[in-house]
Structure 1
Amino acid sequence: MAMAKCLAPVLIFTVFCCYAFIPSHASPDDFFQCLSASIPCQLVHAQSSPSFTSVLVSSIRNQRFTAPATVRPLGIIAPTNASHVQAAVVCGRRHGVRLRVRSGGHDYEGLSYRSLRPEAFAVVDLSNLRGVRIDKQNSTAWVDSGATLGELYYAIAQASNQLAFPAGLCPTIGVGGHFSGGGFGTLLRKYGLAADNVLDAVLVDAQGRLLDKNAMGDDVFWAIRGGGGESFGIVLSWQVRLVPIPPTVTAFRIPVSVDEGAMDVLTRWQEVAPVLPDDLFIRVLLQNQTATFEALYLGTCDPLLPVMRCRFRELGMRMNRTHCQEMTWIQSVPYFGMGAGATVEDVLNRTAATSAYTKMTSDYVRQAIRRDAWENIFATWLARPDAGIMILDPYGAAISGVPEPATPFPHRAGVLYNIQYVNLWFAGGDGGGAAQMKWVRDFYAFMEPYVASSPREAYFNYRDLDLGENAVVGNVSSYEAGKVWGEKYFRDNYRRLAMAKAQIDPDDYFRNEQSIPPLGPGK
């Protein structure tokens, strides 16, 4: 493996500079000295460094995980090229330090930068690797894992107002974790998942090798497109297929209260939303006593209105031209993913601070929930003072047309919609958030009769440790223990993911509390 070489005086300074930051309690002291041979010291932040805390919290999106009690990394490596990542892997293996990988910091359980177990680990923070290279002629792009969705979307829009990419709504999400877990947003019914549109990738494996899709092999390339890339190595960049969109799209947002008939509209939405034309995406946000219907239509308002009145009369008859917001696709990004008044340029703000503490989990619905159950949900759960939000995203069309084994993401044909349960609060400390977290957990338990079962399904990018954690047996994560959470996220694809893990990382170097365990041949 080629490594960057330094002149002797520079190397001596680099070793001294980086080694000075080694925390005295760290057992693998030689890890930092090893890094210093190949990585400039300003890119390595040990716990004792003045920059450590600011770098650690720079992309922590859930304030629950900023507390000092959280098990913290020995240090953070912020590579600027592939050789730095390769060096981190080689040094980590050599000196007994595991690596966790962070792109945007949105992991709902913070597993990209924290550990629930007292182990020696460091974080590879990919935020310096965020290039986007658009090939307009071939409608493709290469995007580095540290780029945000906002940066990717903005670069596409700069190249063409008739190209887009089907991924999530939140612009600050890092593409590395998002793509590797599936990734869906307002274009999911037209073009499927982000992972469905990945053409190639570059991965650093547990041996420090740099591999493209041919070198990593079909099974591993299959695995990183929806099975969680951090289990298999460090994905540095992705080649993706860009998709055509019209120069003008239409968005609308229509709130309907319980008193105005929200129950009837919502009950009908469950049956209509998954079978509408694939150009039309309508999701629902349930909060307090209101159902807010948010939509993106790939076209102008004139053809949208008759579609709504014919196919979804319960909402369409409440709708008129004043509800239509015609815009470009890139303008729809801040419309859905940011607050009121946000501009296209705001999608480039990757450091948008949040003071929120959050708890989230997910479900899938394969049979429409009865109206009387919705009445109970509004009256019993959404009316509470500590209640959170339900977000319902419709499936059908393109996302359901892909066979379940084609990617690790299995929630395809037969799924009506995904549910995300969200609660947030703004005060930590003793007892802070206890009621909000209890609401999520109790509500999730209440919903069991109404959602998919055998297994009860969940979306990997909405990671929830309440669904289960890995157990380590003989220094390798247990396949059987992993099934508890793994089959919820991946259904029958879990076993193939474990076999792919055994091919690329049989020693389970890349692991966390919900990483794929290796399953060797014949097991």
Structure 2
Amino acid sequence: MMHKTRNKTSIQNLRFTSPSTPKPLVIVTPVEESQIQATVYCAKQHGLQIRVRSGGHDFEGLSYVSEVPFVILDLLNLRSISVDSENKTAWVQTGATIGELYYRIAQKSKTLGFPAGICPSVGVGGHFSGGGYGPLLRKYGFAADNIVDALIMDDSGNIRDRTSMGEDLFWAIRGSGGTSFGIVLAWKVKLVNVPPSVTVFTVYRTLEQNATKLVHQWQFVAHKFPDELFIEIAIMANSSANGNRTIRASFNCLFLGGSDELVELMHEKFPELGVTKQDCTEMSWIESVLYFAAYAGFPNGPLDVLLNRTYTGIIYFKAKSDYVQKPISVTGLEGIWKRIYEEDPLSAQIILIPYGGKMDRISEKAIPFPHRAGNLYKIVYIAGWLEGGTAASERHINWIRRFYSYMAPYVSKSPRAAYVNYRDLDIGVNHQGNTSYAQASIWGVKYFKGNFKRLAQVKSKVDPSNFFRNEQSIPPFTS
């Protein structure tokens, strides 16, 4: 089954909808595995590269854009989900979204969940293969930490599970960014326990309400909270009560427990924030999924909105990421505020995601994703805009690049780390997909640290011809 009309509608970043964006020769939307095998065979015969797409949320468009002749393999029709609540597992096909997975889990159990992201329309294929995280990360780690089996197709069309692919390849596909080793068709995940009722709050603080002091203090306490408590901060420019611009920090919380316990915990661990019971709302875990989805631009509504694959918040955007290992000084934070003011109102946002908890207790070698103990939090920088045209894009992208340069003294070093699911072609790109191991190390060590060499060694064994590649894929190892 082939369509030539889905390319633009599945793209979640308007930067890649311009007439100048390279287009695929064809888009294949298979409904069964044999059609994927045929696509792989055909692409090899004709010297074409394959781009595999599950949800279209790829930050740099690597799942649907290439400078070389290519085919898009869009797996949106391969989205079956089978939940085994008794054994606390689920099989989910690559083309399903995390919203669909959450929905199917909730149908079977009110006390099971899964630690993945907050935007329901993200496809599990890219999300899981690059790590995947959400408000449960301090309790249960990343999505990839909770994968127990998978089905992967190689360049000959053979399909293997964990046993037949071997532990090296199974290790490699859980956090390496996907599509460097084959086409993952389905994942078996371990579901996690959640209480019948959880508590959420969102507390806003402006500069006039001590936001600088609160963000500064958060850095010292958020990673030390009990595993059940997750508080991230979203920061952007806003208008103050007197009409002047100010910085507003949004403290967004998920607590796996009741509101009374949460308020007591906040008074003990972070009294400066001044959280009261009136700020808190108790709800089921699946309702908390909808609560956080609203911050990702998803509409509020009944539970079945999680089945909606159409994301309504599509904009032009550029994003970057960093890891912070020592608290940023008040002076450093004030420099951040200054740079946020330089960008258009509502265009600039940074999000601080706390680590600690379970993240500190998982080895950085357990899966390819290495950013564990020693990281206080992750920063996501986002520049988003609505106006089209090259000039607008250049202006906003130049802003985020200047911001990123400013942050260098305050973030991880040797390497300055980055998160592979927030792809950033500024840190290294290969337009032909044939970059050497040494050249790829430029971005490889940022994403994977010491795991990059092992990934390249696995690549050499399972795909020595480098058939599965993109502009930031894992190359075969060369000494």
Distance in 1 between residues matched to 2:339 and 2:209, nearest whole Å: 19
Distance in 2 between residues matched to 1:70 and 1:384, nearest whole Å: 26
Q: Cα RMSD (Å) of the superposition?
A: 1.3
Shift of 1:430: 3.6
Secondary structure (helix, strand or coil) at the match of 2:267 reads helix
**1:396 aligned partner, one-letter code:** G
Shift of 1:471: 6.5
The reply on whether 1:266 has 2:215 as its aligned counterpart is yes
Secondary structure (helix, strand or coil) at the match of 1:374 reads helix
Shift of 1:435: 2.2
Deviations 1:130-185 (A, max 9, x none): 11100011000000010001000000001000000001111010000000000110
Tell me the residue number matched to 2:2: 44
Tell me the residue number matched to 1:360: 319
The reply on whether 1:70 has 2:26 as its aligned counterpart is no
Distance in 1 between residues matched to 2:395 and 2:256, nearest whole Å: 41
**1:444 aligned partner, one-letter code:** Y
* Contact 2:339–2:403 (Cα < 8 Å) also in 1: no
**1:86 aligned partner, one-letter code:** Q
* Contact 1:99–1:121 (Cα < 8 Å) also in 2: yes
Distance in 2 between residues matched to 1:430 and 1:488, nearest whole Å: 29
**1:403 aligned partner, one-letter code:** S
**1:326 aligned partner, one-letter code:** E
Shift of 1:44: 1.5
Distance in 2 between residues matched to 1:393 and 1:343, nearest whole Å: 27
The reply on whether 1:83 has 2:34 as its aligned counterpart is yes
**1:337 aligned partner, one-letter code:** A
**2:449 aligned partner, one-letter code:** R
| Equivalent residue runs for 1:143-154 within 5 Å | 143-154=92-103
* Contact 1:469–1:481 (Cα < 8 Å) also in 2: no
Distance in 2 between residues matched to 1:261 and 1:200, nearest whole Å: 47
The reply on whether 1:343 has 2:299 as its aligned counterpart is no
The reply on whether 1:104 has 2:55 as its aligned counterpart is yes
| Equivalent residue runs for 1:10-21 within 5 Å | none
Distance in 1 between residues matched to 2:466 and 2:223, nearest whole Å: 39
Tell me the residue number matched to 1:23: none
Secondary structure (helix, strand or coil) at the match of 1:431 reads helix
Tell me the residue number matched to 2:185: 236
Tell me the residue number matched to 1:311: 269
Distance in 2 between residues matched to 1:361 and 1:62, nearest whole Å: 14
The reply on whether 1:376 has 2:325 as its aligned counterpart is no
Tell me the residue number matched to 1:206: 155
Shift of 1:383: 5.5
Tell me the residue number matched to 1:298: 256
Distance in 1 between residues matched to 2:390 and 2:464, nearest whole Å: 41
**1:66 aligned partner, one-letter code:** T
Tell me the residue number matched to 1:427: 387
Secondary structure (helix, strand or coil) at the match of 1:477 reads coil
Distance in 2 between residues matched to 1:385 and 1:75, nearest whole Å: 38
Tell me the residue number matched to 1:280: 229
The reply on whether 1:518 has 2:465 as its aligned counterpart is no
Tell me the residue number matched to 1:332: 288
Distance in 1 between residues matched to 2:314 and 2:477, nearest whole Å: 41
**1:82 aligned partner, one-letter code:** E
Unmatched 5+ residue regions in structure 1?
A: 1-42, 46-51
Distance in 2 between residues matched to 1:486 and 1:150, nearest whole Å: 30
Tell me the residue number matched to 2:421: 461
Shift of 1:427: 1.3
Tell me the residue number matched to 2:166: 217
* Contact 1:274–1:397 (Cα < 8 Å) also in 2: yes
Shift of 1:438: 1.5
Unmatched 5+ residue regions in structure 2?
A: 238-246
How many residue pairs match? The answer is 466
Identity %: 49
CA distance 1:469–1:146, change in 2 (3 Å): same
Q: TM-score, normalised by structure 1?
A: 0.87
Distance in 1 between residues matched to 2:224 and 2:138, nearest whole Å: 10
Tell me the residue number matched to 1:499: 457
**2:308 aligned partner, one-letter code:** N
**2:159 aligned partner, one-letter code:** L
* Contact 1:477–1:518 (Cα < 8 Å) also in 2: no
Deviations 1:91-131 (A, max 9, x none): 2112222211000001100010110x2x2210110000011
Tell me the residue number matched to 1:389: 349
**2:292 aligned partner, one-letter code:** F
Question: In structure 2, which of residues 412, 437, 442 is the aligned counterpart of residue 479 of structure 1?
Answer: 437
Q: TM-score, normalised by structure 2?
A: 0.95
For the pair shown, the structure with the greater C-alpha radius of gyration is 1
Distance in 2 between residues matched to 1:249 and 1:146, nearest whole Å: 29
Secondary structure (helix, strand or coil) at the match of 1:427 reads coil
Deviations 1:225-250 (A, max 9, x none): 00122111110100000000001011
Shift of 1:268: 0.8
**2:58 aligned partner, one-letter code:** D
Shift of 1:343: 3.4
Question: In structure 2, which of residues 124, 137, 147 is the aligned counterpart of residue 175 of structure 1?
Answer: 124
* Contact 1:297–1:304 (Cα < 8 Å) also in 2: yes
Distance in 2 between residues matched to 1:430 and 1:414, nearest whole Å: 40
* Contact 2:321–2:379 (Cα < 8 Å) also in 1: yes
* Contact 1:388–1:424 (Cα < 8 Å) also in 2: yes
Shift of 1:213: 1.2
**1:333 aligned partner, one-letter code:** V
CA distance 1:384–1:99, change in 2 (3 Å): closer
**1:303 aligned partner, one-letter code:** E
Q: Which one is further off, 177-186 or 350-359?
A: 350-359
Distance in 1 between residues matched to 2:41 and 2:165, nearest whole Å: 18
* Contact 2:343–2:396 (Cα < 8 Å) also in 1: no
Distance in 1 between residues matched to 2:140 and 2:339, nearest whole Å: 37
